[in-house]
Amino acid sequence: MARFKNKKKVIVKPVAKKKQPTVDHITGSKIPMSFVFSRGKLPGPLRQLQMDLRKLMLPYTALNLKEKKRNNLKDFLNVAGPMGVTHFLIISKTTTAPYLRVARTPQGPTLTFKIHEYSLAVDVIKSQLRPRCPQDLFKNAPLIVLSGFGTGDQHLKLTTIMFQNIFPAIDINTVKLSSCQRIVLLNYNKDTKLIDFRHYSIRLQPVGVSRRIRKFVQNHQVPDLRNLQDVSDFVTKAGYGSESEADDEAATVTLASDLGRVNRASTKSAVKLQEIGPRMTLQLIKIEEGLCSGGVIFSEYGSGDGKKKQDNEEDPEDQEDEDEDREDIVQDEEDHEENIVEDDDEDVD
């Protein structure tokens, strides 16, 4: 009995103050934030993929989000409101394939992708001779390039908007080029209806300078002059250049401002991309109105019996999820109203 007495008072801790601003202080637009989590138990490689996706979504994501088996979607939604999280990336797995759901909180829509193939960041790095990872690579949000989506289909348009909004918008008048370090590419293949998801790091290097001199300026190291007759040889003698080193005219840019010591605004720079995983091949199979629930706007397998077939494909846990989610949404609408009020409060204070 005494224990119960002690337990009677539960002190609710006030939500800790946010460190990150939810609003860009220059453009004033709301910064999108995301949670990446999983539903159901994932095997090792998929868990790693989830971690890679979290890294990709940096800096506006919860890198160390802890999830438990008993957490349902509602829990995440409840946390998402006060934290200003706008997007969910949910990885799940069935016996047929792993799935990625991209959802906007709190009301949807939800895009469901089937992951046909994926490679982890580790795999990509292992496949490279010289992997590259500068210190501040993940300090800024990536750019996003969507290509091949302009076929006029409604569901593709929605996908475009969804992915555009998942990263903070850039204002070309104020953006610093040094903050553009990464790029996420989504390429839609019309014939196969597959989306290639890639993640590259952006590197700039001056054009028209021999490799030796470029390395000399970059590395701060005394060059090896043993084989040369004169110092002038070092400058004039062109080193060997492989075919890939040849500068592509299409990939050169003139910079608006100096970028580091090497890339001056006055000279031209070549854009080099190097892949930093993960990579995925996605297929859009379903769009739902709500957050993992609601009416189906688009289904790859057609409506009606096609939809039933797809439901059968999903494991029972997923369906359970959806049932829970439906409950969530009912409650969520109340929550949402509260959230709006809270938001106003925050703005005023």
Integer CA distances (angstroms), 276 to 112, 205, 240, 249, 342, in order: 24, 18, 27, 24, 39
Interhelix angle 73-83/316-348, nearest 10 degrees: 20
List the one residue from 7, 14, 16, 28 that touches other proteins (CB under 8 A): 28
List the one residue from 154, 254, 303, 331 that touches other proteins (CB under 8 A): 254
Residue 323 buriedness (CB in 10 A; 0-12 / 13-18 / 19+): exposed
The CB-of-88 to other proteins minimum distance in angstroms stands at: 18
Integer distance in angstroms from the first to the last C-alpha of the chain? Answer: 44
Should residue 104 be labelled a site residue for other proteins when binding is judged by CB under 8 A?
no
Which of 250, 143, 129, 260 lies closest to 201, judged by CA? Answer: 143
Should residue 133 be labelled a site residue for other proteins when binding is judged by CB under 8 A?
no
List the one residue from 1, 9, 17, 44 that touches other proteins (CB under 8 A): 44
- 292 to 331: interface string for other proteins, x by CB under 8 A: ----------------------------------------
Should residue 87 be labelled a site residue for other proteins when binding is judged by CB under 8 A?
no
Should residue 14 be labelled a site residue for other proteins when binding is judged by CB under 8 A?
no
List the one residue from 85, 100, 103, 115 that touches other proteins (CB under 8 A): 115
List the one residue from 51, 79, 97, 213 that touches other proteins (CB under 8 A): 97
Should residue 1 be labelled a site residue for other proteins when binding is judged by CB under 8 A?
no
Contact, 337 vs 58, CB < 8 A?
A: no
List the one residue from 137, 213, 273, 296 that touches other proteins (CB under 8 A): 273
List the one residue from 200, 206, 207, 284 that touches other proteins (CB under 8 A): 200
| CA gap 300, 304 in Å, rounded | 12
Longest dimension (CA), the chain: 94
Looking at residue 43, the DSSP 8-state letter turns out to be -
Stretch that binds other proteins, among 6-14, 124-132, 208-216, 222-230 (CB under 8 A): 124-132
Contact, 311 vs 168, CB < 8 A?
A: no
Looking at residue 282, the DSSP 8-state letter turns out to be E
| CA gap 162, 103 in Å, rounded | 8
Should residue 171 be labelled a site residue for other proteins when binding is judged by CB under 8 A?
yes
Which of 348, 344, 346 lies closest to 17, judged by CA? Answer: 346
Stretch that binds other proteins, among 24-32, 220-228, 291-299, 302-310 (CB under 8 A): 24-32
Stretch that binds other proteins, among 7-15, 141-149, 293-301, 309-317 (CB under 8 A): 141-149
DSSP 330-348: HHHHHHHHHHHHHHHHHHH
Run of H or E residues at 232? helix 231-236
Cβ closer to other proteins: 72 or 165?
165
Residues in Cβ contact with 220 at an 8 Å cutoff, skipping those fewer than 6 apart: none
Should residue 173 be labelled a site residue for other proteins when binding is judged by CB under 8 A?
yes
Stretch that binds other proteins, among 42-50, 208-216, 230-238, 328-336 (CB under 8 A): 42-50
Beta strands in 2-156 (DSSP E): 34-38, 87-93, 98-104, 110-119, 143-147
The CB-of-7 to other proteins minimum distance in angstroms stands at: 33
Cβ closer to other proteins: 95 or 135?
95
Number of residues that bind other proteins (CB under 8 A): 70
Binding residues vs other proteins (CB under 8 A): 22-23, 25-30, 43-46, 95, 97-98, 115-120, 123-124, 126-127, 143-147, 150, 160-161, 164-165, 169-173, 175, 177, 180, 183, 185, 187, 196, 198, 200, 202, 248, 250-257, 271, 273, 275, 279, 341, 343-345, 347-349
